[in-house]
């Protein structure tokens, strides 16, 4: 408040604001000034029901003022409410401290009592502001408790002829955190939200906010495009191995700083296993790891347990059934805001394991192994016809991360009140890997992700885990999960129904019964918003060996030991 007063008088030189701030300061200190005269103490003579009535009046006045637009109709309304509230809180604070003196039979100097009363007033006022903020979030249909939202600020500015500063919005370069925008139906004003569903009722078309961009003055401006490699480094292999190792270790260590308990998703694959191993070495105490698998044919569970035992982790296995998968499907589509086949498949397992963590532990942060595939290559990128094509595909995958793997990781984790942290998405690490010569990075070693594997040779992981073939998360949870989803979709539609219903859609037309099922679920929650997703995630069909009609690596000729 003092800072605001100085700013208004000496910087902005706004007379009206200066007077309001001075009045607020005076009223906040009024009771302390009044209590200099002990014989004037009268608050303890006021019946408690009157004090309660004043407090209730203040409460109703604040929300009633928001509901009836009094904050805008009467500019001083907000000032009066806060001033009266401050005075009442000070009254109460003084009485509490006097009672404490009597209870403990301790005499405290008057200035200390006054200072303590003001402290209680300040604490109560701060708590009230927090309550108003929470109220704004959970009950927007009733009306904002204060004029904090952009729309209400614009309304107030228009009524009082005040110009608002430029609105600037931005998104991180990788798109790890979600962000959407659209233009309102009535007045075509841009709106932003962290979830697409928040804009459904207000915007005609909703689109993802492009990662690595900021919005200002009506334009989206790119400030960091990770998919575009500004230079290709000439490091030799030994230097590359060293840099990959040191940069990934630094990325993991950076993400271990938290004021909440941390857990780890461990599939037993190369990427998540490395993250867990590095973290265990840094923390030097057992970390908590979690793996999930089907009750019939889990693939990941045995590898995850092997890694957990090797690094000394406190490991938990989550077992799911066909019924769990089918039951979770509608909720997964809703929280993701996508109809993409492989994203939905992989999200079911991740959603269910995160749901278990939320309901059965006190963990609030999870580290995962996402983004490694986009940087080092998938199974299908073994078919890249040239280094140039390999690099082009890597750039495409990195630029579209926010629609697929990163979307999955963030939504499945965040919807369960957990925070996702992705070491492979570290800007320094990702930028370096993207700058490695593609002819060195692509699979010419008869082993995908050779650079990453070789960088951590030694005692980080058991050798069989370090060399384990890539298996998609949706497949490694158990082949039966995808088979169950396909069977469920096939039972939903006859061939005739499928042929007819798929013709409803012109953009990203469903091409299997499974994709039709996902699209219809998507349209239930996000009707007409299919262009939020660029297209189905699929291997590059222009490459020989990748002309398939399913995103799973199981249909590729080089799947090999991935399913063992």
Distance CA 472, CA 378 (A): 9
Please indicate, yes or no, whether the overall pTM of this predicted structure exceeds 0.75.
no
Percentage of the chain lying above the pLDDT 90 cut = 55
3-state secondary structure of 179: coil
Distance CA 328, CA 473 (A): 17
Mean pLDDT over residues 432-452, rounded?
Answer: 92
Does residue 46 contact residue 101 with C-beta atoms inside 8 Å? no
257-291 per-position pLDDT tens digit: 887 889 999 999 999 999 999 999 999 899 999 99
Does residue 373 contact residue 361 with C-beta atoms inside 8 Å? no
Burial of 23 (0-12, 13-18, 19+ CB in 10 A): middle
Q: How many CB atoms lie within 10 A of CB 393?
A: 23
Task: Name which residue leads in pLDDT, 42 or 188.
Answer: 188
Question: How many distinct helices (H) and strands (E) make up the chain?
Answer: 23, 11
Q: State the Cα torsion 541-544-547-548 to the nearest 10°.
A: -110
Q: Which residues pair with 206 in a beta bridge?
A: 182
CA distances from residue 205 to 267, 407, 481 in whole angstroms, order as listed? 37, 19, 34
Alpha helices in 312-462 (DSSP H): 322-336, 341-360, 372-376, 387-399, 405-414, 427-435, 438-441, 450-455
Percentage of the chain lying above the pLDDT 70 cut = 70
pLDDT band (50, 70, 90) for residue 52: low
Distance CA 487, CA 326 (A): 11
In total, the chain counts a number of residues equal to: 564
Q: How many CB atoms lie within 10 A of CB 166?
A: 8
389-416 per-position pLDDT tens digit: 999 999 999 999 999 999 999 999 999 9
Q: Which residues, including other chains, have CB under 8 Å from residue 121's CB and lie 6 or more apart?
A: 28, 86, 89, 90, 93
3-state secondary structure of 59: helix
- For residue 36, the model assigns a pLDDT of 45
Distance CA 263, CA 294 (A): 21
Q: Which residues pair with 315 in a beta bridge?
A: 289
Distance CA 458, CA 435 (A): 25
Q: How many CB atoms lie within 10 A of CB 81?
A: 19
Angle 48-53-54 from CA coordinates, rounded to 5°: 100
Does residue 127 contact residue 41 with C-beta atoms inside 8 Å? no
């Amino acid at each position: 408040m003092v800072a605001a007063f100085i700013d208004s008088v000496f910087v902005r030189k706004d007379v009206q604001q200066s007077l309001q701030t001075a009045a607020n300061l005076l009223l906040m200190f009024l009771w302390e000034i009044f209590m200099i005269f002990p014989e004037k103490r009268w608050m303890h003579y006021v019946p408690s029901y009157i004090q309660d009535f004043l407090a209730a009046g203040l409460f109703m006045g604040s929300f009633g003022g928001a509901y009836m637009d009094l904050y805008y109709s009467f500019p001083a309304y907000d000032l009066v409410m806060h001033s009266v509230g401050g005075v009442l809180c000070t009254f109460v604070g003084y009485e509490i401290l006097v009672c404490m003196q009597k209870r403990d039979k301790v005499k405290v100097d008057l200035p200390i009592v006054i200072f303590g009363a003001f402290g209680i007033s300040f604490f109560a006022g701060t708590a009230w502001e927090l309550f108003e903020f929470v109220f704004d979030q959970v009950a927007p249909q009733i009306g904002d408790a204060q004029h904090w939202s952009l729309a209400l600020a614009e309304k107030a500015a228009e009524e009082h002829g005040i110009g608002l500063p430029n609105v600037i919005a931005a998104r991180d370069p990788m798109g790890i955190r979600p962000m959407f925008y659209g233009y309102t139906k009535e007045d075509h004003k841009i709106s932003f939200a962290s979830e697409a569903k928040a804009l459904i009722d207000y915007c005609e078309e909703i689109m993802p906010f492009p990662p690595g961009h900021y919005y200002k003055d009506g334009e989206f401006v790119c400030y960091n495009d990770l998919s575009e490699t500004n230079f290709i480094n000439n490091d030799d292999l030994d230097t590359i191995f060293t840099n990959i190792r040191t940069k990934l270790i630094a990325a993991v260590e950076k993400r271990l700083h938290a004021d909440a308990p941390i857990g780890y998703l461990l599939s037993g694959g190369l990427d998540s296993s490395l993250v867990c191993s590095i973290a265990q070495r840094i923390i030097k105490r057992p970390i908590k790891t979690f793996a999930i698998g089907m009750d019939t044919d889990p693939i990941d569970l045995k590898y995850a347990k092997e890694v957990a035992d090797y690094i000394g982790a406190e490991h938990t296995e989550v077992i799911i059934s066909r019924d769990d998968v089918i039951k979770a499907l509608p909720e997964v589509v809703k929280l993701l805001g996508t109809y993409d086949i492989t994203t939905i498949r992989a999200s079911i397992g991740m959603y269910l394991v995160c749901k278990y963590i939320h309901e059965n532990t006190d963990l609030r942060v999870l580290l995962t192994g996402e983004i490694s595939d986009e940087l080092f290559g998938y199974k299908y990128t073994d078919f890249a016809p040239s280094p140039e094509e390999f690099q082009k595909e890597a750039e495409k995958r990195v630029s579209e991360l926010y629609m697929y793997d990163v979307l999955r990781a963030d939504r499945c984790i965040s919807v369960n009140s957990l925070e996702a942290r992705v070491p492979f998405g570290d800007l320094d690490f990702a930028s370096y890997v993207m700058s490695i010569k593609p002819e060195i990075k692509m699979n010419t070693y008869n082993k995908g992700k050779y650079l990453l594997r070789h960088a951590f040779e030694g005692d980080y992981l058991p050798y069989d885990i370090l060399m384990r073939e890539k298996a998609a998360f949706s497949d490694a949870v158990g082949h039966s999960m995808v088979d169950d989803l396909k069977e469920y979709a096939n039972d939903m539609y006859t061939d005739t129904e499928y042929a007819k219903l798929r013709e409803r859609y012109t953009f990203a037309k469903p091409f299997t019964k499974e994709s039709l099922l996902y699209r219809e679920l998507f349209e239930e929650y996000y009707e007409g918003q299919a262009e939020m997703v660029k297209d189905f995630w699929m291997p590059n069909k222009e490459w020989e060996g990748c002309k398939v009609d399913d995103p799973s690596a199981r249909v590729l000729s080089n799947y090999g030991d991935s399913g063992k």
